[in-house]
Chains A and B, each alone.
Chain A
């Protein structure tokens, strides 16, 4: 078929290198006006790099970017904006204390150099919002909006700046299934009006449901470009990973060694309330129990108190009221060392900040929690042989790929870093594992590894509290699921009675 006009966006032979590492290796990407194009790939496949080129943040070593047929030098973010390229980042770039209109106009000279003409801007925002079905009040404060609302503001911000090419980076990661559906309606409306949309994701079902075309990246190269309708989720997954990797499911895992009726609660949380530094209630009268050989999934949209609940249980944050019983001992006010002594293992959400000491070696990170225990020290002196032995054992058991135990953790890949975290926490044979987003930022292979390890702990009779915003992860691994909304548990269901639709409604705060 003969094209009537060149594609709106045409990236050709893009090559980007960082030192010796080739992040993009001759990547081609063409997107027509009115097309929703999925950019699919694992972490580290080169999606972000490619989009940073498009946003003018990176200058490629080779290749060219054509907008509507003309070669454009994308030297700066400003240039990219002038050419009609808009980005909606995963982490929103909004000023919470300002209104929608103020945020949208931020940095635009068209609003007036000294005195911003916000009235005209607000009218224009209303027009745009009406055209594309975006539910936005220009005078609302960002801080008062929901996450989905803030995302709509980001989209509107791009449109206001004249975006003809809109890039969305993992936009559904922070949304409930229903909110995601709402976003898709908006994106379809935008495409119908002629906007080219690049939808970055690793969620195959969304790619299948929303997009017209799909480009799969692997290790910096395009492995396939196809019409979405002519592919299927299985095939895409295979292309993404290179080989078929099935994520483990609880049904396939060995059953726990403890018979169900003998299962005792490893962890009991009773009427737990936590306030943050500003006095706001973050965890609201939560009660839950985790039994031996049980994985309890805590589902919920990011920021509904799951993080704070986990931190209170592991002892990183203060409890306002309520009690936490770990292995029969009241640890509500106990120091973290005591909790670790009772068999607590924590796999924190932010491994860079909370789990790892990145400048230190793998060896030092592995022994971190146990340095005071025999045989790793005696009389306050470290015993290097014992420490080295532990490091080698854990690295082998958890398949940590590194040049050796003395390599610093900061230089490892994300997957290997997480293996160090898991190895440290799980090699102690813990009785309770608190895992928060344990697969965040990992590729499929590493995710499967993490999930297998959690299932192995379950089989060994440990209790696991799994906090995740990834529903698929929760659904695959949990014996029981509780849903948190605004700090409180709004619903609970056993594995036998799981319904994704009900979960979605609960995550949105509507009891079902």
Chain B
């Protein structure tokens, strides 16, 4: 949305926090460059190799987009929950349950046509994720249990529950591993780019981001959700049903994380496996924060983190910089994001320490 200021020049209104996000990324890469230099490598060479691998080829870009899908879906869910004032850090567990539901329905519905099977898998995945998230919502609304604790604890329960299911009732009877049987072709998301793994999940991401944007800025319920997140008491005073809004924040986050599980199962693994996610649900928390809980910002930050992760191993082999450096950069982004709040304090301290302003 653009407004016209008094000089008559139209200027794009940046969503609050976007400038801070860009600065945090820049600062993280700068510190990362120092670390790379400390290993004795030219930072430009290392970063060059990293982004060359992630974005520079058809396959690299496809891999980056494949990695973007779960990060963006979980990130969107977490962002919407944040907007409602709900700190849901349980996307990881919700993703696992979503993937399991999708895998189970996929096996159960083998033989169904794709137009029935895929929606059934997606819906059941969203439902399973929402159900798991709803458990934390119930604990919060009924017993005032802090969701920061309950959702993270429920992650462990979810992952072990899924593990049990994959070792037991859902296990592929013809295999030795703890995983479901392979999905039929009709239970798989179509590949968009021949010769790569890029699947239709990226379309789900784009649609979800547009819908989330419309919801937040155009729908009355989105407006109410933002009010609840910014000042729940004022929301209540204005007649908004705060509890229902909080419940919605939980459910939408769970549903989107569940969808992420579905797209990993139907688009990448083609079956439900025990190690479905290397922590997408956790990285997505950073993605949501870095994206300033703005749907398109979340897309961009999901893409950036996906690129970092995809390019990491190439950077290691080509430039000799350990791939864990990208994890360090991710961590630094978080530190700088959170550290922004401390900047005024730092300034006051410097002023106090090194002379007072006249």
Contacts and interface: CB of A to CB of B under 8 A. Distances in A.
Interface of A: 59, 61-62, 314, 316, 335-341, 346, 348, 353-360, 364, 368-369, 371-372, 377, 380-382, 406
B219 interface: yes
Contact of B3 (A338, A348, A372, A406): A406
A336 B230 contact: no
Contacts of B241: 335, 337
Nearest to B223: A371
Contacts of A62: 358
Given A336-B237, A359-B16, 8 more contacts: A340-B238, A348-B237, A354-B237, A358-B231, A360-B230, A368-B227, A381-B218, A382-B218
B144 to A, nearest CB: 11
A30 B114 CA distance: 87
Contact of B224 (A341, A348, A371): A371
A381 B227 CA distance: 16
B353 interface: no
A437 to B, nearest CB: 15
Contacts of B231: 353, 356-358
Interface of B: 3, 16, 218-221, 223-224, 226-227, 230-231, 233-241, 356-358
Nearest to B6: A403
15 contacts: A314-B237, A316-B237, A340-B239, A341-B239, A357-B231, A357-B234, A358-B230, A360-B226, A369-B238, A369-B239, A371-B224, A372-B220, A377-B220, A380-B219, A382-B219
Contacts of B358: 61-62
Nearest to B234: A357
Nearest to A359: B230
Contacts of A359: 16, 230
B341 to A, nearest CB: 15
B220 A380 contact: yes
Contacts of B220: 371-372, 377, 380-382
B230 A357 contact: yes
Contacts of B3: 406
Contacts of A337: 239-241
B223 A382 contact: yes
Contacts of A382: 218-220, 223
Interface centre among A338, A340, A358, A360 (most CB of B within 10 A): A360
A355 B223 CA distance: 16
Nearest to A350: B233
B239 A336 contact: yes
6 shortest interchain CB distances as A-B pairs: A337-B239, A368-B238, A336-B239, A340-B239, A357-B231, A369-B238
Nearest to A355: B234
A380 B221 CA distance: 7
B230 A353 contact: no
A381 B239 contact: no
Interface centre among A314, A316, A354, A406 (most CB of B within 10 A): A354
A386 to B, nearest CB: 12
Nearest to A340: B239
Contacts of A380: 219-221
A346 B237 contact: yes
Given A61-B358, A360-B227, A316 B219 contact: no
Given A371-B223, A377-B220, A353 B233 contact: yes
Contacts of A61: 357-358
Contacts of B356: 59
A355 B227 CA distance: 11
B332 to A, nearest CB: 27
Interface centre among B219, B238, B241 (most CB of A within 10 A): B238
Contacts of A369: 238-239
Contacts of A364: 223, 227
Contact of B219 (A356, A368, A381): A381
Nearest to A404: B3
A354 B239 contact: no
Nearest to A60: B356
Contacts of A340: 238-239
A360 B3 CA distance: 16
Nearest to B240: A337
Nearest to B351: A59
A377 B240 CA distance: 15
A62 B358 CA distance: 7
A36 B59 CA distance: 82
A377 B223 CA distance: 11
Contacts of B357: 61
Contacts of B240: 337
A336 B236 CA distance: 7
Contacts of A368: 227, 234, 238
Contacts of B235: 357
A368 B221 CA distance: 12
A487 to B, nearest CB: 22
Contacts of A346: 237
A438 to B, nearest CB: 15
A380 B236 CA distance: 19
B13 to A, nearest CB: 9
A467 B171 CA distance: 67
Nearest to B242: A336
Interface centre among B16, B226, B227, B239 (most CB of A within 10 A): B239
A278 to B, nearest CB: 15
B347 to A, nearest CB: 13
A319 to B, nearest CB: 16
Contacts of B218: 381-382
A358 B231 CA distance: 8
Contact of A316 (B221, B230, B236): B236
Contacts of A335: 239, 241
B230 to A, nearest CB: 5
B345 to A, nearest CB: 16
A13 to B, nearest CB: 13
A380 B356 CA distance: 54
A103 to B, nearest CB: 29
A339 B358 CA distance: 54
B187 to A, nearest CB: 34
A184 to B, nearest CB: 38
B244 to A, nearest CB: 10
A391 to B, nearest CB: 14
A61 B357 CA distance: 7
A207 B210 CA distance: 62
Nearest to B230: A357
Contacts of B224: 371
Contacts of A336: 236-239
Nearest to A376: B220
A339 B226 CA distance: 22
A357 B230 CA distance: 6
A372 B241 CA distance: 12
A370 to B, nearest CB: 9
A353 B234 contact: yes
B317 to A, nearest CB: 46
A64 to B, nearest CB: 14
A356 B240 CA distance: 13
B268 to A, nearest CB: 35
Nearest to A424: B238
A369 B224 CA distance: 10
B293 to A, nearest CB: 12
B61 to A, nearest CB: 36
A368 B235 CA distance: 8
A81 B321 CA distance: 57
Nearest to A348: B237
A68 to B, nearest CB: 25
